[in-house]
Structures are given as C-alpha cells and as structure tokens.
Amino acid sequence: MKRIAVFPGSFDPITTGHMNIIGRALPLFDELIIAIGNNSEKKYFFPMEKRKAWLESLFTKEKKIKVAGYSGLTVKFCGSIKAAYIVRGIRTAADFEFERSIAQMNKAMAPDIETVFILAEPAYSAVASTIVRDIIRNGGDASAFVPPGINLQKA
C-alpha cells in the first residue's frame, strides 16, 4: 500500500522551517500532501490562493508532493485521500504540548492514522510564520526566513 502522508498547516507564509520539515519527511513516504488548512475562525495574513500558489510553484518538479486546501477536521481530510500519516514539526516544548493534545485527540478519532513528529533542526527552531508576519507588518525584510522566490511584498 502506498504510504500517503499529510503535512497540514497554515503556511501563512511558508518558511524555511516548513521547507526543512518537508525535505526530511519526503523520503519517508510515497506521497506527501501539503494541506493548507482553511479555518473559518482564523484570520489569515495571506489569502489561501496566494499560499497555495507559493507551495505549488515551489514543488512543481517534485512528483511525490501535492498541494491541497482543506477545511474541517484534518483526520477527515486524511480519510478522504487515504492518507495514514500526519506530519508535524516540533520546535519547542510549547509546540510539543500543543501538538501532543491534537495528536492524541486525532488518534482517538482515527486510530488508523499515525502522527509523525519531526524535530526542528537547531538552525530552524526559531523560524516561525508568526515572526515573519510581524517583520512584514513592521516594514522589515523577512526574505531570509522564506524560500527563495517567495515575494512577500505582493500581499
């Protein structure tokens, strides 16, 4: 059976930290779906179309990667595309606590789906979309924290 994994997130915007997790998750699976969550309760900085277009442009050449948008429960989305793995990155103890409860709830709802945690490499453990957004809001240059070719100006 094909090993299909979902890497869910807001990717608002995609950062070098996300790229590092994607690169390290890729050899573990046959297919990696980068899934952009659309939570109606959440206000995003960049529109879904933009976040999706960035991801698509970054991975056009990588056959194992697909990009999708989804709303609702991550485990339901996984079920709909037959993905048995959820990939999440862990930077800090706070990430761990947050991710632990989500993963345990997901496991209770969908016992066949495993969450796979990948620890941030030290060089990326401080990189966060939240900080990138703060830099942009305050007129700074955040280009070092996003992959090359991502134009943060055209928000």
Catalytic residues: 18, 42, 91, 129
Give the other-Cβ count within 10 Å of 102's Cβ: 14
The residues, any chain, with a CB within 8 Å of residue 80's CB and separated by 6 or more, are none
Using the rule CB under 6 A, is 18 a contact of ligand ADP? yes
Candidates 45-53, 55-63, 85-93, 106-114 — which segment interacts with ligand ADP by CB under 6 A? 85-93
Applying CB under 6 A, among 4, 6, 17, 55 the residue interacting with ligand ADP is 17
- Token look-up 């699976």 returns 29
Using the rule CB under 6 A, is 70 a contact of ligand ADP? no
31 versus 95: smaller Cβ distance to ligand ADP: 95
14: closest CA among 128, 139, 91, 121?
Answer: 128
Applying CB under 6 A, among 4, 6, 15, 29 the residue interacting with ligand ADP is 15
Question: What are the CA-CA distances from residue 117 to residues 7, 88, 94 (Å)?
Answer: 10, 5, 14
The C-alpha atoms of residue 154 and residue 114 are separated, in whole angstroms, by 37
Rounded to a whole number of angstroms, the minimum distance from the CB of residue 72 to ligand ADP is 14
Is-contact 113 75, C-beta < 8 A? yes
Using the rule CB under 6 A, is 89 a contact of ligand ADP? yes
Applying CB under 6 A, among 48, 95, 116, 136 the residue interacting with ligand ADP is 95
3-state SS, residue 143 = helix
4 versus 46: smaller Cβ distance to ligand ADP: 46
Query: Residue numbers of the site for ligand ADP (CB under 6 A)?
Result: 9-11, 15, 17-18, 21, 37, 88-89, 91, 95, 120, 124, 127-129
